[in-house]
Amino acid sequence: MKKRMSLAVSLVVFVFFVMVLSVVIVGLCIYLLDSIFDISFLKSGILEFFAMLLISVSIGTSITALLSRWMVKPVRNLIEAIEDVAKGDFSVTVKGSNIPELESLAASFNKMVRELAGIEMLRVDFINNFSHEFKTPIVSIKGFAKLLKEGGLTSEEAQEYLDIIIQESQRLVDLSTYVLNLSKVENTEIISGKEVYALDEQIRRAILILEPKWSAKNLSVDVDLQSINIYNNAPLLQQIWVNLLDNAIKFTDNGGKLQVSLRRINSSIRFCLQDNGHGMDEETKQHIFDKFYQGDTSHTTIGNGLGLTLVKKIVGLCNGHIEVESSLGKGSAFTIFLPSGMPMDNRHG
């Protein structure tokens, strides 16, 4: 409302200024003409009225054209910038104006362009990384399949190549599953299928599901889970615990330790997973939730860079938040806060 009033006042002042300036200039012209020439025939009657009207209109039109050109210039610049953005140029910016509304419009436009540039960058990165992640196992499968077809391999070599093909095939299946789940979560605004269930038991089941992985690395798992019921979509939250645990196992050395805790803090539920693994530097911590980002640039650990992205999306969808503490060589700690979301008649159940 204030902006509308400001714009209206600006227009009124502009029109009033043009009118006053026109009258002053007309009066000055008549005074000068009267001083130099004999214009007594214009000082009475209809001729005087039409002469002043003609001069006022001419001067007013000229002043309006000049001033409007100055006022409309920011709008013209904005239109040109919009046309550039429509062509895919997200580097354009527009300058502000002395008029508050146009200044606000320019600031909003520049912010929009920055957001679009960021989205475009993410889109390009997503396509490039997605193509790379899919192409790598496919090329690997094709190469080893050709070697098997050519023959001349020992039984041990053939078995090794078959294991690689199976492993790479599973990698494709996992990647496809992650992409589908992430797409589903990103297009979900309201969580449906909620139910009351024991969250601590769900986390225990997630730990048991991954038992072959942490047992293979001889990891010890310290579990301290408070008995807590939650009202939410169980399959959706299951993806949080499995992805976080799998990530912790992946980056913890043989013989390491995982600590899992669950507590109710006032009206929130706090889940914490801590490991004594490799840890992360500051740059990695800033990007771990980005699609396809992998802190291990050597790719010595198997992954697709979508697990933590999915976790972050689900936590946000549940109106919760996630915190990360980590340092190189000292491990990492992921802490998730979720609202209990219990229905009124189940809060004390």
In a domain, 144, yes or no: yes
**Is 260 found in the same domain as 201?**
yes
In this predicted model, what pLDDT tens digit does every residue of 67-104 receive, in sequence order? 556 666 777 777 888 888 777 777 788 876 666 767 78
Question: pLDDT by residue (tens digit) across 18-66?
Answer: 666 666 666 666 666 656 665 554 455 445 555 566 666 666 666 666 6
Q: How many domains does the chain have?
A: 3
Letter for the amino acid at 227?
S
User: Are residues 317 and 203 both part of a single domain?
Assistant: yes
Q: Can you give the pTM of this predicted structure?
A: 0.53
Tokens 């993410």 correspond to 122
Residue 269 is predicted with a pLDDT of 93
Q: Please report whether residue 96 resides in a domain.
A: no
Scan for tokens 């999306």, then name that residue: 313
Question: Cα–Cα distances in Å, from 163 out to 58, 138, 173, 328?
Answer: 89, 14, 15, 33
Task: Answer yes or no: is 99 within a domain.
Answer: no
Q: Is residue 339 part of a domain?
A: yes
Residues of the chain with pLDDT under 70: 1-72, 96-99, 101, 118-133, 178-190, 290-306, 341-349
Look-up of token digits 């225990």:
204
In sequence order, which ranges of 224-349 are alpha helices (DSSP H)?
234-250, 282-287, 307-317
**Is the domain of 139 the same as that of 220?**
no
Within a domain: 109: no
| One domain for residues 311 and 200 | yes
Q: Measured between alpha carbons, how far is 100 from 113 in angstroms, rounded to an integer?
A: 20
Residues paired with 311 in a beta bridge: none
Same domain, yes or no: 332 and 229: yes
Question: 341 and 282, same structural domain?
Answer: yes
Tally Cβ neighbours within 10 Å of residue 281: 11
Task: Give the domain range for residue 340.
Answer: 195-346
Same-domain pairing of 309 and 232: yes
116 within a domain of the structure (yes/no): no
CATH number at residue 180: 1.10.287.130
Residue 119's pLDDT is 66
Distance CA(261)–CA(108), nearest Å, equals: 44
CA–CA separation, 215 and 200 (whole Å): 21
Looking at 186, 204, 221, which one is the last position of a domain?
186
Q: In this structure, is residue 53 part of a structural domain?
A: yes
CATH of the domain at 256: 3.30.565.10
144 plus 211 within the same structural domain: no
203 & 281 share domain: yes
Domain-located, residue 101: no
Predicted pLDDT at 3: 45
